[in-house]
Structure 1
Amino acid sequence: MKQLIIHVGPGKCASSTIQQFYKLYACELVVPTVFRMLPAASVNSSSLHELKALSKRLPPLSNLIVSHESLFKFPELVRAIAQTISPNVERVIVIGYSREQSSFIRSSFKQWLFRSVERKREVESLFADKGLNIDLFTGMEQALIAGLLSNFKTTRQLSGHLIHQWHKSYSHLERSLKDLNVELSVGTIKPLSQGFDLLHDFADRANFDLGELGALASDYRANESFSEAVVEYAYNNVERLNIGPHDGNELLIELSRLDVERTPVANSNILITALSGYIQKYYQDENLQFCRQFNVQRFFYNQSKSINQTEALIDALQVFTAQRKTLRYHEGYLRFISKHEDELQRLLVPGS
């Protein structure tokens, strides 16, 4: 059977691992498979014509995988791809993933938002409006608190899209495909400690066999993450950074490799854990709808009763700040910053 597999991401849901693996190894699968990385949101008539011609050339038993994490934000592009190629294939399946919102938000901050001057100013303004002393919180804590206080406006993507409302986002995608003969398969990213195997999960949804690549796929990871210590340093100096939200990744990775021990930033993770719980409680009902509608294995723990988020959170933060009094960085973080100050200053505008 010839099939089209459209991988829509989204970003921060292990898209790079899927893309890099199939870019390297699609040609080694038992069934002839071609992988195409799409040009983000700039899919046009020319690129659609190219994909259509490619699908015609493929043998009767084959797979065409097209992918870009930005497709999740543009269901109309997913529809256009499916409509264009479906006459040439027997099966079209759209595959996307999700993850706990608290985990998604933390990952987005560590990847992009920590180096956005505009987003930090937005967070600072929100803290001031609520009468909270921002200097008592790490960058990650600030991001989670601001998200909760703004109904997650401050956690939106740099493109302006708020995509981690999974039920809303996938319902929109489902509606855009409703009158087409297209399958929509939705998964969720779970921790490795729970035995989750992303690439085998993707292959199962796509209905093909990894064959001899199976062992390699189980251990394959694409992205090298940034050190929390480097992220915190950059966030604290964001006004002086000489890199933008999507720039300087090579330098950030180079500096992160200096943090061999992957030093924690805060002296305690108690607040991060509590804030993550608030976030999952906020999305509890919507997540339950999402799991039921899209047959997704539940990826969140049941929370107790619902609460008034803003009032309860501000009360809890006032108590917390009274106890904290000052931001207590982990001693390992302070040692790391002191030891590597000269190297870290490469992130900053010279002479700033």
Structure 2
Amino acid sequence: MQASLRLFQNSCKDNSFSFVFLNPAQLRSLSNALTQKTESPFRYIDRILSELTADFSVISHEMLGNRPALVQAIARRAVKHHGFEHIVVVGYTRLQSSYHVSAFKQWFFRDRKKLREDIAVLKNYDLSWRKFSALERSLLALALVGKDRSWHANYKKFAAGCTGLSPQMTLASNHIPTKQNPYMLLEDFFKLSGFECRDDLSVFDVRKNVSFHPAVVHALSSHFSSLGPRLSCFPGPHEGNRWLFRVCKRLGDACVNLPRENDVFAEELCESIVHYLDRRNYPANQDYCQLMSVNQSYFEPVNNVKAMSSADDLVRKARDIESKRSQKDIDDFLLLSENAFMNAARSEIIST
């Protein structure tokens, strides 16, 4: 979405549209100040808002989707201090399982705190954490701890904030497009936000969600999981993305031949957990769909006869898989991943 909005802005010849991707560090600082009820550092937001002179302006960052109070504070600032006529808050959702897998592949695989928490959950259930991939541990911990993302609870907070600024502030939402439920995201965004555009938006429909090479995901999650409290020089979450993507390119160019991941960590466990999470979240997702007038068919769980019906079923399945896996095969796979990553990282460091 953000890439599409940036492309569209670059094509505009007049002052009808502008787009700003907000600075995450500045947003975190403002969010912390609001939480602690200290004097809020609005200087950054005030500068951004004061520079928006287009008829229709968009400010965006994925962090805002998790912080209703921050969104309300920015909207209030725009209306009360900068004279904006109308604010539309537009958010997109996805299946909680899909959201978690995506977050793992972007951030959690190198988040030492999250990795340690996942390992602790498995230990509490007397499961050998080394017999599972970091993604399996992360999904299993989510299923067993039960702290799913609730779109309904989140959007109730957004709606309450919008009510406080009504009628100058409104709220809209939809699920993200998928292969099963496709549509043009930018066109939908403009429709929800009320921006009239007669351009052919298909040329701005960017589907860009660059993923990290599997060797990077397995190598860093294995490295950080084994470190404990010791220090590491490798980038953690939200750090060194550009450098990591250059390492990924080297891994791709080198045609690294790793054993097939599915030969070591079969997809069966992850699929079972995903089906379980989708069914568990379905009632709350129905409430969200009703609140925001979203098509609930997107959230309907797959009818799977082998689906687990309880957390105890998942634990039993995990124990069965654990007993059948070879620790040597897993260790060899992770060692090859770490060696491949280190070779590519060393080459990238030397080249710069």
Instruction: Calculate the TM-score normalised by the size of structure 2.
Output: 0.77
> Where does residue 142 of structure 2 map in the other structure?
147
Query: Hey, what does 2:262 align to over in structure 1?
Result: 266
Shift of residue 41, structure 1, vs aligned partner = 3.8
Conserved? CA contact 1:101–1:279, under 8 Å: yes
What TM-score does the superposition give when structure 1 sets the normalisation length?
A: 0.77
**Which residue number in structure 2 is paired with residue 33 of structure 1?**
17
Counterpart in 2 of 1:256?
248
Which structure 1 residue ranges, 5 or more long, are not aligned? 1-17, 153-161
Please show how residues 281-292 of structure 1 align to structure 2 within 5 Å: 281-292=279-290
1:94 is paired with a residue whose SS is strand
**1:23, distance to aligned residue in structure 2 (A):** 3.4
Q: Which runs of 5+ in 2 are unaligned?
A: 31-40
Relative to structure 1, the CA distance from residue 80 to residue 330 in structure 2 (aligned partners, 3 Å threshold; closer, same or farther) is same
Q: Determine the structure 2 residue equivalent to 1:101.
A: 96
> Given the superposition, is the C-alpha separation of residues 245 and 198 from structure 1 closer, same or farther in structure 2, using an over 3 Å criterion?
same
1:38 is displaced (CA, Å) by 3.2
SS where residue 71 of structure 1 aligns?
Answer: helix
**Corresponding residue number in structure 2 for 1:23:** 6
- C-alpha separation in 1, matches of 2:29 and 2:329: 46
Equivalents in 2 of 1:309, 1:116: separation in Å?
28
1:166 aligns with 2:148: no
Q: In 2, distance between residues paired with 1:270 and 1:243?
A: 31
> How many pairs were matched up?
316
Identity, in percent, stands at 22
Secondary structure at 1:233's aligned position in 2? helix
Whether 1:111 and 2:110 are equivalent positions in the alignment is: no
SS of 2:252 mapped into structure 1: coil
Aligned Cα root-mean-square deviation (Å): 3.4
- Bigger helix share: 2
Is residue 32 of structure 2 the alignment partner of residue 46 of structure 1? no
Summarize the Cα distance change of 1:229–1:266 in structure 2 as closer, same or farther, 3 Å threshold: farther
Which residue in 2 is equivalent to 1:158?
A: none
Greater mean deviation of Cα atoms: 330-339 or 194-203: 330-339
Which residue does 2:221 correspond to in 1? 235
What CA distance in whole angstroms lies between the structure 2 residues aligned with 1:90 and 1:217? 27
Q: Give the aligned residue type for 2:236.
A: G
1:131 aligns with 2:126: yes
CA distance in 2, matches of 1:301, 1:188: 12
Q: Which moved more, 1:335-344 or 1:86-95?
A: 335-344
Aligned to 2:343: 342
Q: CA deviation at 1:113?
A: 1.2
In the TM superposition, residue 48 of structure 1 has moved relative to its aligned partner by 4.9
8 Å Cα contact 1:234/1:241 also seen in 2? no
Q: 2:58 & 2:315 partners in 1: Cα distance?
A: 47
